[in-house]
A = this chain, B = another copy of it.
Amino acid sequence: MTALRVALAQLPVRVGDMAGNAAAMAHAVSTAESLHADVVLTPEMAVCGYPVEDLLAEPEFVRAAMDATRQVARSTDRTVALLGAPWVTGCLPVAGGARPTGWMTDAQSRSLRNVAVVAQRGTVRGGHAKTLLPTYPVFDDARHFEAGARQQDLYQVQTPDGPVTFGVLVCEDVWSDELVQEMRRGGAQVVVVLNASPYHVGKQQLREATVAAAARNARVPIAYVNAVGGQDELVFDGGSFAVDGDGDVIARARSFETDLITVDLPVAPEVDPGRSWDVVDLGATHTRRCTLPAPPLTAPREVDDEVYTALVTGFRDYCTRVGLPKVVLGLSGGIDSALAATIAVDALGPDAVWGIGMPGPYSSDGSVTDARALTENLGIRFDVVPITDAHLEREQVLARLLTDRTGDTGHPVAWENLQARLRGTTLMTIANATGALVCTTGNRSESAVGYFTLYGDSCGTAPNPLGDLLKTTVTMKDGAVLPGVYGLAQWRNDRADAAGLVPPIPVSTITKPASAELAPGQQDSDSLPEYPVLDRLLLAFLEDHASAGELADTLVADGWDRQVAASTVNRVLTLVDRSEFKRRQVPIRIKISTLSFGRDRRMPLANHWSHATAEPRPGELQPTGSVPDVGVPGAP
């Protein structure tokens, strides 16, 4: 049976590093050449990284990316290289923000495309422009690119087994069954796809199921290469793979690591030439073939491992790429900061992480002892810098002013937020003085209901490793499990245990009730529903767009009183609506869910619509969208 030897070069995303990316691509090309591959695939936009957003509006950036791609093309020999790059057709781009003539319509002024450049024997031989430009959750391709036609050229190579015709797609294209079938009917015996497909829980299974179905339906094998590594809030998880014409996965690369796998892919029969598309003849690749070992079929990770690795990867890549691979973080003795510190240590090593305990007037003794135990387990530096004196000074001065001017000291939450802000200021000062990043540690549940202090515990110049983790583990509608803070902490401890190492997170940190410790005896459950309830409501609201009524129904089905259920839901959704303005100013978080805060979910701030009542709030009387920063106990 005729086979196409395809090398999948799973390369890291490094935005804007054309020289480094081109070197990695050239190295992959030469490796593939030495393995007698017919074709080598690099990820979508491999030469400049993805997403690069409005850098694509800058002529010099695009020119540099195209120059670097041509340079890789010059290094090609017999193996056909598919190089992911932005490519200008006609003239330089005026896409995105760069429209200097202003306000032209898209179709008239776009000339930039998202291309798989086809290179061989030292030159660019052609290319496939991405046809389907996603504009949903995290993607904005239509902002930057002109779409490619549905029917573009196919490519033929003479392999040692005989001629093979293949088609090329870019990422979103392969999610359309139809496009693959059209390409097969047009003459493709193999389809290869360049991707930059970011991680979320269950993504690899979704990718493989989708590509396998497309392969089965079109009776054509598909080779799928993905990027790897973190870029701002996204993590590319690799896991490149190939499926045969039955849709069976016959090769799979590692996840979250750079990799290069090569597979002999049995090709589909030639089609009736009457219906065929234009084919570019690339001539012979190699005349003989070395023998390959069986291609690797790396087993997927289990979900806790996968999520934890995504967080470590995203955190590490951000901090190292911005050139500041060390962090300072506040340790409260609680579960969130403990897990964040553990992730930071796994990402950057213990010498790069500095924990600061900042007890205040209402901190428990456990806050410092638990934090200290954690740092001893992790082997990181720990210092205690109380905020008590600074808090007392500001509280006295401001309480006097407010009493003089307004008759009382106002909303009590102001004085809780004050403590959090003095902690944020303390961390930022230490970080600025020492050239470190600050790691914030708020989880997705808190972020959703605004249970945090803007400019306080949300201070952070590194990505928030917990910002897309609910507090507790929740089962999703499709039955899959979405790990939460507690679950990952326990998993990490268990992993250490199993390896005969000290579990990093103290047991008391995991077992004690959650508390912000900003008022005497305060517990999270004073202000919020219990986390398992809150998290289930949040997930159904945020990801499934469940209405207030539907959410209340799920509680009633669990035995809740109808009225209590309705008021609980009302309270939660009102808090979510009212904290949009706070979420707009927090650090990026590393995406692991299907629909995270950030690029995935874009909301107006001034907004009369209430999710709690599914109707507009009347007039100016009941504010929504924005309230003073009364985050910590979620009031009023």
Contacts and interface: CB of A to CB of B under 8 A. Distances in A.
Interface of A: 14-20, 48-49, 51-55, 57-61, 64, 95-100, 102-108, 132-137, 140, 142-143, 172, 175-176, 206, 210, 230-232, 317-318, 320-325, 381, 383, 385, 389-390, 393-394, 397-398, 401-402, 405-406, 409-411, 413-415, 417-418, 421-422, 424-426, 428-437, 454-455, 459, 461, 543-545, 547, 581, 584-588, 594-595, 600-611, 614-630
Contacts of A206: 102-103
Contacts of A230: 606
Contact of A108 (B176, B417, B436): B176
B140 A425 contact: no
Contact of A455 (B20, B100, B428): B428
A545 to B, nearest CB: 5
A511 to B, nearest CB: 31
Given A97-B600, A136-B95, A430 B390 contact: no
Given A102-B594, A410-B432, 4 more contacts: A231-B604, A398-B433, A414-B430, A585-B585
Counting chain B CB atoms within 10 Å of each CB, the highest count among A140, A323, A406 belongs to A323
B604 A15 contact: yes
14 contacts: A16-B616, A19-B616, A64-B609, A97-B600, A98-B545, A104-B175, A106-B135, A108-B176, A232-B604, A325-B620, A390-B390, A406-B434, A411-B433, A414-B429
A116 B424 CA distance: 49
A398 B429 contact: yes
A434 B411 CA distance: 7
Given A59-B545, A132-B105, A584-B588, A322 B624 contact: yes
Contacts of A320: 620
Contacts of A585: 585-587
Contact of A100 (B97, B406, B544): B544
How many copies of this chain sit in the oligomeric assembly?
2
A4 B136 CA distance: 41
Contacts of A614: 60, 64
B426 A398 contact: yes
B323 A436 contact: no
A136 B106 contact: yes
Contacts of A98: 545
A174 to B, nearest CB: 10
Contacts of A321: 606, 608, 620, 623, 625
B603 A55 contact: yes
A615 B19 contact: yes
A472 to B, nearest CB: 22
B433 A619 contact: no
Contact of A175 (B105, B385, B616): B105
A54 B20 CA distance: 37
